[in-house]
Amino acid sequence: MLVGVCIKWTPGRPEVDTSGSVLTDDRFGGVSLADQAALEVALSIGDQVKVVCIGPEAAVAALRDSLAVGATAVQFVACGAQPSSRDVAVSLAQHLGGCELIVCGDYSADRGSGSVPAFLAAQLGASQALGLVAVERKGTNLECVRRLDGGRREVVRVAPSSNSPAVISVEGSVAKLRRASLAGTLAARSANIPTANAGINADLNGEITRYRPPTRIVAPPKGNQAIDRIRALTDSTAAKSRGELVTLSPSEAAERIIQAMREWGYLTS
């Protein structure tokens, strides 16, 4: 099985020197724990592993580290801008042809929106299973576990193939990246890193910060007296279960989810 891995290089925290110039020390850059877990999952279940990284020139260091731990091929996609998640997915998809499975981390170390895997699956026309906490290969299929609300878990079976690829994303707790051997590290230092241009001209002005979902709007507790309002907040028996079993088509299910999110205050429009 040919497995593709998408990683994102995040530069070190910028600092301002005495002259007012902004400096970034690439020694403190790297990839997120989730991306490291994605690479380890790919190395564990794949027969061949291709790692693709889009970013500045400093990102080549992450690809050399990938070769050192056992990746069979790498691809660097040069991009000096700060592209959107959709543009990143379009660029990555061009270098993942032939991969039966693509593994991504569920977040990066900067914006952390976790939207690239979904955009990538749409671009490739692939099935997707995102936010996984466990991945195990069983024959040609994968048995995955996804975290749900309320401490529950969902078991998902993924059947990737060359005609029907799949995209999965994993949390950083899924696996710890193996240590590179001395021979692998020395070989990776002089390895040739194929380079392509992303062709993205978009640039985002301003500081890039971690993604934060909108604040949930919650109705105030009912009661004319303070003690009544406290009881309304602390009485667990008054809480209503939100569990609901429905059988709907995919489009109807999507509409039902959006409607519920509006009712619960997660969406305002």
Domain map of the chain by residue range?
A: 2-197, 213-269
24-45 pLDDT tens trace: 666 667 788 999 999 999 999 9
- Confirm if 227 and 220 have CB atoms less than 8 A apart: no
pLDDT of residue 204: 44
Question: Three-state DSSP class for 231?
Answer: helix
For residue 242, CA distances in Å to 141, 177, 222, 264 come to: 33, 38, 20, 10
pLDDT greater than 90 at residue 262? no
Residues 219-250 as b/e (b if ≥16 CB within 10 A, e otherwise) read eeeeeeeeeeeeeeeeeeeeeeeeeeeeeeee
For 211, phi then psi, to 5°, come to -65, 135
Contact (CB, 8 A) for 92 and 54: yes
Residue 238 has pLDDT above 60, yes or no: no
74 vs 207, higher pLDDT: 74
How much is the pTM? 0.69
- State residue 75's pLDDT score: 93
Residue bearing tokens 């519920």: 260
Written out in words, the top-level CATH class of the domain with range 2-197 is: alpha beta
The DSSP call for residue 178 is P
Percent of the chain at pLDDT > 90 equals 30
pLDDT at 68 over 60: yes
pLDDT > 70? residue 177:
yes
